[in-house]
Structure 1
Amino acid sequence: MTLFDGITSRLVETDRLTVGILERTGDDVTTPPERTVALVHDSLSSSLIWQELMQDLPSDLRVIAIDLRGFGATEHAPVDATRGVRDFSDDVAATLAALEIPTAHLVGWGLGGAVVLQYALDHPVLSMTLQAPVSPYGFGGTRRDGTRVTDDDAGCGGGTIDPDLIQRLIDRDTSEEAPTSPRNVFRSLFVASGYSSTYEDVWVEAMLATSTATGNYPGDEVPSPHWPGYAAGTTGVVNALAPRYFDASAIVDLSPKPPILWVHGTADALVSDASPWETNQRGAAGILADWPGPDLAPPQEMVSQTRDVLEAYRAAGGQVTEVRLEGVGHSPHLERPSEVRRALLSVIGYIGQPASPAPPTEAIIISSSD
């Protein structure tokens, strides 16, 4: 495990499983919840991916990055996809409980955004920062309003992941020899064109810390009578995001409503209204044969769905701040760290005194020229 200066790792024994976390040297374990930040990574990643942000945040905060089950140093326990992402969110709750942290500001990226939404439905949270989050209706298989396209979520789940990528994860492939190598997946899907970093080997290391054991990444698939012939199974990471199992749109009804920060890039190739990893979009683009058309297999409008749910949250009295970064891909905290840091500190009420709440209709839009 490659650790940056000032970052330490340890294992935490919880009442559910053994969890790996990263912390900062010198952080005070008695820091109150309102100055505690917990970071939850995306799929195909681990807590290692947060290290630059951890180093950059003020020293009087307590910052913890948590490895989800089957990723990083956390136990590779199977994921019961029929619970949606509750295995993950319950693990996060158990970790915070073991650390004697009653609540915190939660930051979730991609899959981690779904975990944070589910956590907020089940546990108290001070704020939610959603970075390039999965739609509140899951990944794939839904219309704009969140209704499911088929009764078995055809085209969703573990069957969407290229087997060659899985084999290269097993082989711990760090090469550039194929589009499905983890390094090239990082370059093509995790960040926008033009991004470069001296830490790319560490980001690939984080990807290679993904368990491909049964019940982990990506999960099983089952036959379907609907195009493209398979549907989500019942175990594994990707199946946990199938809409039959995961729907966090009920955050609109939360009371009280913690403030939400939504950070996303306009060049995100993974979570977008035209994601090349979403099956129906691949059909519409001619990448998959025999697509039955938009009536039977409409591409999922992921970003629009997130905006609709957050607008409803705002209309119901919640505070929502949107930071939309022009030309940024799926990893704003890597590509535009200063903007992400500034927005996060604002939503948690840092800078010497609590931040004034944004008006219910306000959104902050940051362009590439900001």
Structure 2
Amino acid sequence: MDVALPDSVTAQSVDTGRLETNVLVSGDPNGTPVCLIHGNVSSSRFWAEFMDEIPDTYRVVAPDLRGFGDSETKPVDATRGVRDFTDDLAALFDELGMGTVTLVGWSIGGGVSMQYTIDHPDQVTGLALVSTMSPYGFGGTTRDGTPCQPDYAGTGGGLANDEFVEHLATGDTSAEADASPRTVMHAFYGGPDHEFDPETADAYVEAMCATAVGDDNYPGDAVPSENWPGIGPGERGVLNAVSPKYFDASGLAEIDQKPPVLWVRGDADRIVSDTSFFDAGFLGQAGELPDWPGEEAYPPQPMNAQTRDVLEAYAADGGTYTEEVFTDVGHSPHIERPEQFRSLLLDFLRN
């Protein structure tokens, strides 16, 4: 299929010494730096059309994280949370001479952006979180971040859909199977009524299929557990890196230098929500995972409530944040409502 990039967007490979990183770039090389960070099972290609509409006064970069898109595949050490990714970004920004930057993180990219801001608060001028994962990781926690199981069972690489992983590994771009990347994208990346443009949908599916599959990357390894649902996080790969066993960005509320935060989400998001179709607690409640121990023992993770609580604490300690909810929008506000999202982001960047 090989769908071309928009005219104003180009791809370049940057060797940082840590990673051979593929980066989409647009705008003025001397403009205000903005970095767009993609989500899980995607790549910078999901930002390309949006980048085409950003004024040239900004220097926009969108890297592929390790193991995604056209960047080098290197293992993800999940015991570091997402710091393999954030250290890669720090090296990239140094190599590009970007200095301070506004981060725009989508889904898992939101978690990466939060962690980067915690580790480099003096280098972040703004933080935009788009359909962001919770600061308490993905799955398996109550509202205050307490794990539902002592070994964090029900989170990590073992919760991935095996059929989806198989279709991803073979590069299946068809819509013939319920678990093919194309079918999953149409079912979950947008809202129930969103129809992806056919040409860009082809590009997005190709980007999904460029994800490195295996224990070191997506989804990661897993270990058996005596606790429900019988499987826990391993120490390698992407889904383990965002398990609450290793990832906790609630410390964002406590950093001294607090950049302004914009949080944008869709009210029809089925990936990141208080009733996520990818969360063991919700799947157990819905009868999709057997022997669910009940809401008191293992409730659905209240992902949006957790994000709001941390951002409220952030504001109470001197920061500022704005929450914007798009009606009838799913997991990809920048794709489903690009004009509305662009207007919000540009106002945020100007102010």
Instruction: Report the 3-state secondary structure (helix = DSSP H, G, I; strand = E; otherwise coil) of the residue aligned with 1:126.
Output: strand
**Aligned counterpart, 1:151:** 150
Q: Distance in 1 between matches of 2:228 and 2:171?
A: 33
Q: Which residue of 1 aligns with 2:282?
A: 281
Q: Which amino acid aligns with 1:208?
A: C
Alignment of 1:139 onto 2:138: yes
113-122 or 289-298, which moves further after superposition? 289-298
Q: 2:222 matched to which residue of 1?
A: 221
Contact 1:158 1:219 in 2 (8 A): yes
Aligned length: 345
1:79 equivalent to 2:102? Answer: no
Equivalent residue, structure 2, for 1:90 = 87
* % identity of equivalent residues: 48
Q: Which AA in structure 2 matches 1:8?
A: T
- The CA distance in 2 between the partners of 1:224 and 1:171, in whole Å, is 29
**CA contact 2:25–2:60 (8 Å) conserved in 1:** yes
Task: Provide the C-alpha distance between the structure 1 equivalents of 2:125 and 2:40, rounded to a whole number of angstroms.
Answer: 24
**Secondary structure of 2:57's partner?**
coil
Alpha-carbon distance in structure 2 between the residues aligned to 1:53 and 1:310? 26
Per the alignment, residue 304 of structure 1 pairs with 305
Between 1:258-267 and 1:290-299, the stretch displaced more is 290-299
Pairing partner for 2:114 from 98, 113, 117: 117
1:28-67 correspondence to structure 2 within 5 Å: 28-31=28-31, 35-67=32-64
- Letter of the 2:39 partner, please give it: D
Deviations 1:191-225 (A, max 9, x none): 01221213111111111110003300000000111
Q: 5 Å matches for 1:260-339?
A: 260-339=261-340
Residue 181 of structure 2 corresponds to residue 179 of structure 1: no
Whole-Å separation in 1 of the counterparts to 2:289 and 2:254: 38
What stretches of structure 1 of length at least 5 have no aligned partner?
A: 350-354, 356-370
Greater Cα shift, 173-182 or 223-232: 173-182
CA deviation profile, 1:237-262 (whole Å, cap 9, x unmatched): 00001111000011111111000000
Matches of 1:122 and 1:267, distance apart in 2:
32
Match in the other structure for 2:24 = 22
Q: CA deviation at 1:301?
A: 0.4
- Does 194-203 or 218-227 show the bigger shift? 194-203
Match of 1:361 in 2: none
1: distance between equivalents of 2:58 and 2:81?
31
Q: What stretches of structure 2 of length at least 5 have no aligned partner?
A: none
Residues 251-276 of structure 1 show CA distances to partners (whole Å, capped at 9, x for unaligned) of: 11111100000000000010000001
Counterpart secondary structure, 2:218: coil
CA contact (8 A) 1:155 1:229 kept: yes
Q: Name segments (4+ residues, structure 1) moved above 3 Å.
A: none
Q: Equivalent residue of 1:70, what SS?
A: coil
Shift of 1:7: 1.4
Match for 2:316: what amino acid?
A
Letter in 2 for 1:191: G
CA distance in 2, matches of 1:326, 1:213: 36
Aligned match of 1:102? 99
Asked if the contact 2:35/2:62 (under 8 Å) is kept, the reply is yes
Stretch of structure 1 that moved more, 268-277 or 194-203 = 194-203
Match of 2:7 among 5, 8, 33: 5
Cα distance in 2 for partners of 1:329, 1:151 equals: 32
Distance in 2 of aligned mates of 1:140 and 1:78 = 22
Contact 1:188 1:269 in 2 (8 A): no
The amino acid across from 1:292 in the alignment is P
Rounded to whole Å, the distance in 1 between the matches of 2:56 and 2:28 is 9
In 2, are the aligned partners of 1:158 and 1:239 still within 8 Å (CA)?
yes
3-state secondary structure, aligned to 1:129? strand
With structure 2 as the length reference, what TM-score do the two structures score?
A: 0.96
Matched residue of 1:57: which SS?
A: coil
Q: Given that residues 36 and 63 in structure 1 are in contact (C-alpha distance below 8 angstroms), is that contact kept between their aligned partners in structure 2?
A: yes
**Superposed CA offset, 1:84-139 (max 9, x none):** 00101111111111101112011000010000000001112010000000000000
Q: Which amino acid aligns with 1:95?
A: L
User: 2:191 aligns to what?
Assistant: 192
Q: CA deviation at 1:15?
A: 2.4
Alpha-carbon separation, structure 1, partners of 2:194 and 2:210: 22
Deviation at 1:29, TM superposition (A): 2.2
